[in-house]
Amino acid sequence: MMNKITLILGGARSGKSSYALRLAKKYKKVAFIATCLGLDKEMQERIRLHKESRPKYWETFEEPKELAGLISKLNNGFDCILIDCLTLLVSNLILSGNSQQQIFKKIEDLLFILSKKKARVILVSNEVGLGLVPINKLGRDFRDVAGRVNQIVAKNADEVFFVVAGMSLKIKACLSAGREKNKWIR
């Protein structure tokens, strides 16, 4: 089984996570990797509802920052790895003091490790480039890094979907020649 990397982009509440779940439900052995930190009661409730929406037989891993390390430890027994979401990963890394270059390196490492897995890979991320310019530096830095991360992942993905109002649009199809391995956008 050759792996395929799929990126699903969309705005907040666009239906991107639901779409990712529908794709992953086609597989029997799924590793769901959550990057969210439940720092307050409202977010903890969102996490609880997200967990309830997933099949009970999926294996859930919660890792807010070190995805490459976690995935490298996973055996090849999974036929699908779903990561939700890259945007929260970027936020967690920025708030932990990582520089842009450190974050891009972590994403490159993650993609390299994912490319070696036999599983289908589904990555979810927010499209952050369609809104207003954030009013403060932290917001602008986040938008810039998240946007660049999306570009790096999209370039290296086999297929990319954009989700709006629960409807998905394929914006990159699998290429017969395969993805451009290790050609990262800077």
pLDDT per residue over 51-96, tens digit each?
888 888 999 999 999 999 999 999 888 999 999 999 999 999 999 9
**Tens-digit pLDDT profile for residues 129-167:** 888 889 999 999 999 999 999 999 999 999 999 999 999
- In sequence order, the β-bridge partners of residue 125 are 9
By DSSP bridging, strand 80-84 and strand 120-126 are parallel
Sequence-distant (≥ 6) Cβ neighbours of residue 147 within 8 angstroms? 128, 129
In the annotation, is 30 catalytic? Answer: no
pLDDT of residue 176: 43
8 Å CB contact between 159 and 4: yes
Spot the catalytic one: 4, 25, 50, 51.
Answer: 50
Give residues with Cβ within 8 angstroms of 4, minimum separation 6: 120, 121, 158, 159, 174
If one compares 2 and 179, the residue with the highest pLDDT of the two is 2
**Per-residue pLDDT tens for 110-120?**
999 999 999 99
Give domain limits for the chain: 5-172
Task: Print burial letters for 99-127: b (CB count within 10 Å at least 16), e (below 16).
Answer: eeeebbebbbbbbebbeebebbbbbbbbb
Which DSSP helix (H) or strand (E) runs through 124?
strand 120-126
| Cβ atoms of 96 and 134 closer than 8 Å | no
CATH class of 5-172: alpha beta
Q: What percent of the chain has pLDDT over 90?
A: 75
Residues paired with residue 93 on neighbouring β-strands, in sequence order = none
